[in-house]
Structure 1
């Protein structure tokens, strides 16, 4: 599939930026996708949407959200725990995009939807002239993110949710 074909497929399926109108749906999917200590709360998703909805990408089909990715821009080079719940740390002119959540609706997993959204996020962030993208993930997802060119930088200093996280970086 060419890039042009891929872009056409995404627009047909409804790739767009989220709005506050999507809050309930996104919070429900996030809660179903992460243990409580690791997932974003309703209030946190609300604050993120209110401050940086243009850094929320969602893929929908027939008004069902299939997958979404969100995060914030910053000049900090590493993702830190305080970023998750303080939307005011977002700096639209920041050099780096920090991904907080990569989520697929449990009803639609295993169909490549998160990969489609990730490909678009990478294209969009690169076109904004940012230096790259940083995320943290559990060990079992290192290979998934590695397919997109993310490099494992080892165990993160994050204590989010009380589990071990690996920091990964994609530099443009």
Structure 2
């Protein structure tokens, strides 16, 4: 998540499923996840249009990659 004066301007969204493949059931029952373990499925990176072209999405994705590398 990137902020500017405490306003969220960019974030990624997704879920942490217990399985490698995402199923429709996971969308119907979002509690079918393990917040402490599993796969990180990123559905999208969202940035307010006036903040685009500042490499915020790349910065967020690099943070996720570094975090995964650190944990595994």
TM-score by length of 1: 0.37
Greater relative contact order, per chain length (Cα 8 Å cut-off, separation 6+): 2
Write out per-residue CA displacement over residues 85-116 of structure 1, whole angstroms, 9 at most, x where no aligned residue.
5320221222x111123111122111111110
> Are 2:63 and 1:120 aligned?
yes
Q: Where do 4+ consecutive residues of structure 1 move more than 4 Å?
A: none
Give the conservation status (yes or no) of the 8 Å contact 2:18–2:33. Answer: no
TM-score by length of 2: 0.76
In the aligned structure 1, how far is the partner of 2:45 from the partner of 2:26? 16
Gaps of 5+ in 1: 1-57, 130-172
Structure whose residues are more often helix by fraction: 1
Structure of larger gyration radius = 1
Match of 1:97 in 2: 40
Aligned length: 71
> Residues 128 and 111 from structure 1, CA distance in 2 versus in 1: closer, same or farther, beyond 3 angstroms?
same
Give the conservation status (yes or no) of the 8 Å contact 1:69–1:102. Answer: yes
> Are 2:21 and 1:78 aligned?
yes
Gaps of 5+ in 2: none
> Are 2:24 and 1:106 aligned?
no
What is the RMSD computed on CA atoms of the aligned residues? 1.9
CA-CA distance at 1:84 after TM superposition: 3.8
Q: 2:3 aligns with which of 47, 60, 71?
A: 60
